[in-house]
Structure 1
Amino acid sequence: MKAAYFSYHRPASVEEAVTYLDEYGGGARVIAGGQSLVPMMNMRLWRPLALVDINGIDELTHIRADGSATALGALVRYSTIERDPVVAERLPVLAHIVRYIGDRQVRNRGTIGGSLVQADPTGEMPLACLVLGAMVRVVGPEGVREIPLSELYEGSYAAALEPEELLTEIVFPASPQHFAFTEVTRRHNDFAVVSVLATGNRGADGRWRDVRIGLGGVADTPVLASAAGAALAGTDLADDAIRAAAELAVDVIDPPSDIRASAEYRRHLVPVHVRRVLTQLRDAPLQGETA
């Protein structure tokens, strides 16, 4: 099947893109990498009146250090994140986790902004940005809005953007010292059944602070197991503390049943992999050790 008829626009600036989106009154879609949009259009699940192609907007391709913060333009591609030295130094979580996304062809086209707007609850980038405490900037006819990742999603595949708004930038605070990540898939490069990301900072005395645990694939959106992370504050991540945190993590999930796994199986996997990731976080002597 082929896509239904649509108009095509290729703006040269953010302002021009927003103008097109506004003119169509919610009937236009933004295309960046097109990894999700094009298949949905070809199956006629989405029938936009127009596509607004933002690939010609150079101002959306930046990677910029700004004090302790790091900003990525919405058009930064996965393959760039994978190899960029600024990302490797300042956002090692992203540089690692991006390798779990699709295959080389997908990473050559897919963009970080497109992933966040797509709002796939199994997506690696939404999970990483949530755990890292990122904020997004969006531009619309009324100006610029800043939205924390924790407030970006209204549900599965539902980002809290107005139809005429364009996500332009993702801003990250200073990266945590340590992280660990794992995900369960049915086959290599498939969508995640369950994913777990943990970050934290370890003091000279071996005690941990700022522990954050994020879970993907277990609710309508990626979720933070805030109580589980808070329970680990000031601990040395001993086995008993890890087991208790893993049980607390189950309280924030509402897993679906789908073609990849049942809700019961996902519920079983969560504490198992939270324990494994936290153990890896504790035992890894260097930043960037992973499960």
Structure 2
Amino acid sequence: MKPARFAYHRPTTVAEAVAHLRDHAGGARVLAGGQSLVPMLNMRLWRPDALVDINEIDELDDLRVDGERTEIGALVRYSTLERSPLVAQRLPLLARIVTRVGDRQVRNRGTIGGSLVQGDPTGELPLACLVLGATVVAVGPGGVRRIPVAELYTGSYATVLEPDELLVAVEFPSHPQHAAFRQYCRKHNDFAVVSVVATGDRGADGRWHGVRIALGGVADSPVLATAAAAALEGTQLTDADLDAAAAAAAQVIDPPSDVRASAAYRRHLVPVHLRRALTDLRAARP
């Protein structure tokens, strides 16, 4: 099957792209990597009036550093995140987690901005951006908005972005000292059934501070398990601490049942993989 007819725009500036989005009044879709958009078009599940192809907007493909802050342009490909020495140094969790996205072909085309706008509840990039406290930068007719990833999603595959807004960059604060990631898939690099990320800083006395825990595949969007993280503040991540965190995390999930797993199975997996991730975190070198 082939897509329904649509207009095609290929702007070279952000302002031009936003103007096209505004002119089509919600009937346009943004084309970046196209890894999710193109199959939906071909199956005619989406029938937009127009596509706005942003691949010629050079400013969206940059990595920028400002003190402790790191900014990644919306068009930066997964493969760039995977191989960039700058990302490896400043955002090591991102460099690690992106290797679990799809296959080499997908990573060569897919973009960080596209992943965040797509909002797949099992997506690795939204999960990593959430736990790292990232903020997205969006530009629309009314100007620039900065939206914390924790406030970006309104549900499964749904964001707070307006139809005439374009996500242009993702801003990250300073990376925590340590991070651990666990994911369960039916096969290598398949869509995740459950994902867990834990980050934190360990003091000289062996106690952990600033712990953050994010869970994927357990609700309509990635979830911050704030109570579970709070239970670990100031602890040494003993086995008892891990049990308390796992019990707290179980209270904030509302997993779906789908072709990959039942809700009950996901509920079973969350504490198992959270304990494993926290065990990995505890074993990190000082």
Partner of 1:272: 272
Aligned pairs (5 A) from 1:20-169: 20-169=20-169
The code of the aligned residue for 1:176 comes to P
How many angstroms apart in 2 are the aligned matches of 1:82 and 1:195? 19
State the SS of the aligned residue for 1:257.
Answer: coil
The code of the aligned residue for 1:6 comes to F
The code of the aligned residue for 2:72 comes to L
TM-score after normalising by structure 2: 0.99
How many angstroms apart in 2 are the aligned matches of 1:64 and 1:81? 13
The code of the aligned residue for 1:89 comes to Q
Partner of 1:236: 236
Partner of 1:289: none
The code of the aligned residue for 2:77 comes to R
CA drift at 1:196: 0.3
State the SS of the aligned residue for 2:102.
Answer: coil
Q: What fraction of aligned residue pairs are identical, expressed as a percent?
A: 70
How many angstroms apart in 2 are the aligned matches of 1:82 and 1:111? 12
- After superposition, what is the alpha-carbon deviation per residue over 1:67-88, rounded to whole angstroms, capped at 9, x for unaligned? 0110000000000000111100
Partner of 1:226: 226
- After superposition, what is the alpha-carbon deviation per residue over 1:26-56, rounded to whole angstroms, capped at 9, x for unaligned? 0000000000000001111000000000000
CA drift at 1:285: 1.2
State the SS of the aligned residue for 1:251.
Answer: coil
Q: CA RMSD in A?
A: 0.6
State the SS of the aligned residue for 1:163.
Answer: coil
TM-score after normalising by structure 1: 0.98
How many angstroms apart in 1 are the aligned matches of 2:182 and 2:49? 40
How many angstroms apart in 2 are the aligned matches of 1:250 and 1:158? 24
Instruction: Kindly report structure 1 stretches of 4+ aligned residues shifted beyond 6 Å.
Output: none
How many angstroms apart in 2 are the aligned matches of 1:91 and 1:118? 22
The code of the aligned residue for 1:207 comes to R
CA drift at 1:255: 0.2
The code of the aligned residue for 2:220 comes to D
State the SS of the aligned residue for 1:86.
Answer: helix
State the SS of the aligned residue for 2:113.
Answer: helix
The code of the aligned residue for 2:45 comes to L
How many angstroms apart in 2 are the aligned matches of 1:252 and 1:114? 27
Partner of 1:19: 19
How many angstroms apart in 2 are the aligned matches of 1:116 and 1:183? 19
How many angstroms apart in 2 are the aligned matches of 1:36 and 1:238? 42
The code of the aligned residue for 2:250 comes to V
Number of equivalences? 286
The code of the aligned residue for 2:235 comes to T
- After superposition, what is the alpha-carbon deviation per residue over 1:199-227, rounded to whole angstroms, capped at 9, x for unaligned? 00000110000000100000000001000
How many angstroms apart in 1 are the aligned matches of 2:61 and 2:100? 22
CA drift at 1:149: 0.5
